[in-house]
Amino acid sequence: MLNSAQVVTSGPIITIERHILEGQLAHPEATGVLTSLLYDIALAGKVIASQTTRAGLVQVLGKAGEVNVQGEEQMKLDVIADQTITRLNDHTGRLAVMASEEHPDIINISANYPTGKYVLLFDPLDGSSNIDYTIPVGTIFAIYQRQSTGGPGVLEDCLQPGRKLVAAGYLIYGSSTLLVYSAGNGVAGFTLDPSVGEFLLSHPNIRIPENPRYYSANQGYQLRWSKGIQAYTRWIQGEDGGRKGLSLRYVGSLVADFHRNLLAGGVFYYPADNKNPQGKLRLQYEANPLAFIAEQAGGYASNGTRPILDVQPERLHQRTPLFIGNRFLVEKAEEFIRLND
């Protein structure tokens, strides 16, 4: 018999399945396919979590010996996470096409299986350089409706702007396993209770706090930033009557840095610099899904000059500068860039 400490200490116990289903009921035209797709992502999260929480024991630490399309060393868990998500979704008949950070091209659905109306883009393991140091890592996902009509999905289905997102979210594999998602009606967070293997509602209706606490940027690159971004950083640190009292927190896992700022208030920025003139983060499976979450939670995300969600993607692995968090902090970054760069 489960004691209360094992499940949820008080109040109603709401599983992610029930939450997704209730969200679907708000759309009479819904067919339940998106609900099932979100279930599959939660299941993929459970499987990946089972690997990340014992990575040191099951010899999945370290490099996979491959280099991905980004030219980055693939970690074993990158590959495991990628295979988990593709194998959970490639036969269900819910998707027309997928795309992953770990695959150079789109991932077509085999002719042996039916295609569906959704498109799934994902970063199977975000922050993978942190795996060997037991720093939280995550998965980021973005769901669109296919634009192509019939047959296998095509690249254009994966190059839709963030404004067209149907749902998006992320998982964090850290001190606990958390799934945060939005299907366009606000943001909710679910914590995995390993004793029952269920994601239980732990963060209903997430809203970014008005009064921010943190800023997150890799200041090791500060000398490579533009004048505007260096001035913005000094403003954030309180120079010239700027924003006092923001603490610097940066772990180098986008999902973990973003999540902290979403819950506590703050801004994360990974600007373009003279080494990464387009920025480092990827538009389609890092910036757009988190920008969707940020806006659904009352925040904002920009590439420094315009909303991330308005950018028309040109390439699957297109990179972008990213400023994301409290709207006024992100708009202040846009102002410093406009006035100084």
Given the complex with ligand AHG, which of 101 and 295 has the nearer CB atom? 101
Residue 32: enclosing H or E segment and its boundaries?
Answer: none
How far, in Å, CA of 204 to CA of 207, rounded?
Answer: 9
Contact, 171 vs 49, CB < 8 A? yes
* Residue of 35, 128, 160, 320 that binds ligand AHG (CB under 6 A): 128
Q: Which does 252 bind (CB under 5 to 8 A by kind): ligand AHG, Mn ion, none?
A: ligand AHG
Amino acid occupying residue 173: Y
Contact, 322 vs 287, CB < 8 A? yes
- Please count the other Cβ atoms lying within 10 Å of the Cβ belonging to residue 186: 14
String marking each residue 278-317 x if it binds ligand AHG according to CB under 6 A: --x-------------------------------------
The residues binding Mn ion (CB under 5 A) are: 101, 123, 125-126
- For ligand AHG, the binding residues in 34-63 under the rule CB under 6 A are none
Q: Is 240 exposed, middle or buried (0-12, 13-18, 19+ CB in 10 A)?
A: exposed
Q: Which does 193 bind (CB under 5 to 8 A by kind): Mn ion, ligand AHG, none?
A: none
**Three-state DSSP class for residue 211:** coil
Given the complex with ligand AHG, which of 178 and 201 has the nearer CB atom? 178
Applying CB under 6 A, does 218 fall inside the site for ligand AHG? yes
Given the complex with ligand AHG, which of 6 and 129 has the nearer CB atom? 129
Given the complex with ligand AHG, which of 23 and 136 has the nearer CB atom? 136
Measured CA to CA in angstroms, residue 192 lies from 45, 177, 293, 299 at distances of 9, 5, 20, 26
For residue 328 the two structure tokens come to: 């006024």
Q: Kindly determine how many residues on this chain lie close enough to bind ligand AHG according to the rule CB under 6 A.
A: 13
Strand-pairing partners, residue 319, are 282
Applying CB under 6 A, does 23 fall inside the site for ligand AHG? no
* Residue of 23, 116, 127, 189 that binds ligand AHG (CB under 6 A): 127
For residue 294 the two structure tokens come to: 């940020």
Residues forming the site for ligand AHG (CB under 6 A): 72, 101, 123, 126-129, 218, 252-254, 270, 280
